[in-house]
Every structure is written in structure tokens, then in C-alpha cells.
Amino acid sequence: MEITEVRVSLRDEPKLKAFVNVTFDNAFVIRGLKVINGTKGYFVSMPSRKRNNGTHQDIAHPINNEMRRLIEDKVLAAYENELKIKGEGSEGSEGSEGSEGDEGGEKEDYDSNP
């Protein structure tokens, strides 16, 4: 299984730094991953939903450490790249392709952009 696309939508919040969509083999997408600024640095949070009892349950997550590392490495690299592009964009160029159209929410128009 190969990660074929990582789309990053930056956020300017103390802990939540980005929403991320990851596509596998140009055939399957997982939306709603988050880049979080934790006490030990950045980490990737898998998409989850809140249960009635207040706890959270992952909707999708890796089964083994190898896949978790692969996803985290790719997502954090894409996040760092997006930050660099945004920094360059503040000097007069437009934002990066990966973040355009995602400002209202990470799920809105993903399917319309191949």
C-alpha cells in the first residue's frame, strides 16, 4: 500500500495545527487526520468520533507500528512543506495547491479535485 497524496489544510490554533487527508493507491482516502502540537512535539491524530459516554473512538487507524510510522512521517513532512510554502506565500505569491478550497472544512470539495 502506497500513500499517493497528502492534502494539508493549515490551522492557526494553539494545539490543532492542521487537518489532513491521506490517499492510498489513488483509490482510498482517509479524511480528518489532525496534526497536533503536543507536549513532546507534533504528532498525528487519527480521525475519531465522540461516543455518548464522552470518550473518543478512532474511525480509522493503522494496525501495526510500521504503517503508523509511514503515515506519521508522510503527514508531518507534508505539514512542514506546507508551512514552508505558506511562509513563501506571505511574500506575495499565492498559497499552496494542497490548501486551496479546504478553508471551510477538510471534507467539502476533496472529491472534485483529482
pTM value > 0.85: no
The fourth-level CATH superfamily of domain 3-49+58-89 is Stage V sporulation protein G (3.30.1120.40)
- Has residue 93 got a pLDDT over 80? no
| Structural contact between residues 35 and 17, judged by C-beta atoms closer than 8 angstroms | yes
What SS3 state is found at 51? coil
Residue 74 makes CB contacts below 8 A (sequence gap 6+) with: 3, 6, 22
- Has residue 96 got a pLDDT over 70? no
- Has residue 99 got a pLDDT over 70? no
User: What is the pLDDT averaged over residues 13-33?
Assistant: 97
